[in-house]
Amino acid sequence: MDGLESDFNLKVVLVSFKQCLNEKEEVLLDHYLAGWRGLLVRFLNSLGAIFSFISKDVTAKLQIMDRLRSGPQREPYSSLQSMVAYEVGNQLVDLERRSRHPDSGCRTVLRLHRALRWLQLFLEGLRTSPEDARTAVLCTDSYNASLAAYHPWIIRRAVTVAFCTLPTRKVFLEAMNVGSPEQAVEMLGEALPFIEHVYNVSQKLYAEHSLLDLP
């Protein structure tokens, strides 16, 4: 593992997602993106090339959001709510086909949002499953309940085959760097409700603006 991956610690991810929502329940994008960097780019990359099909795409999405957060119109991109209001209000979102604004913030975060659901379900499966649970089954079930609907058949097939080479549940839990597998399960129990809450707030916002099916 290189420097970034070896830095992974589930506690850092927990802090990021705890700080994601302000008192108005707005999703603060800096903390959201920081949580993503910890969850996927560091954690899953540390487990090898199996997840590269997702982590490469997520890395590209994070770079798009970094550009928006540091660009001349950075202020509306401080929260998910202000970003949606700004882009929808200024017709900066492709609602029917990806053409004029292929890298809009709304489309980019939607892709992260969908992947977060898969990861949330997978981690919850790791937390609640018995010691001898097959991670390939846990991951496939989570994928089928989330990301699979947005991927063509050939990708779904390749992904589910790749899942068969996943490490054991114990290896996953040890990769979280919070102590024993039992301690990792306890930490997941604390972290996952925050992740789920951020997901639910984002899902509601996108649904209210009819943005859940952006091309």
DSSP state of 47: G
Question: Tens of pLDDT along 146-187?
Answer: 999 998 999 889 888 888 888 899 988 988 888 899 999 999
Give the domains, in start order, of the chain with CATH numbers: 10-209 (1.10.3520.10)
Query: Is it the case that residue 4 has pLDDT exceeding 50?
Result: no
**Are the beta carbons of 10 and 176 closer than 8 angstroms?**
yes
Alpha-carbon gap, residue 19 to 1, rounded angstroms: 28
Mean pLDDT of 188-205: 95
Question: Tens of pLDDT along 26-75?
Answer: 999 999 999 988 876 667 676 667 677 677 888 899 999 999 999 888 99
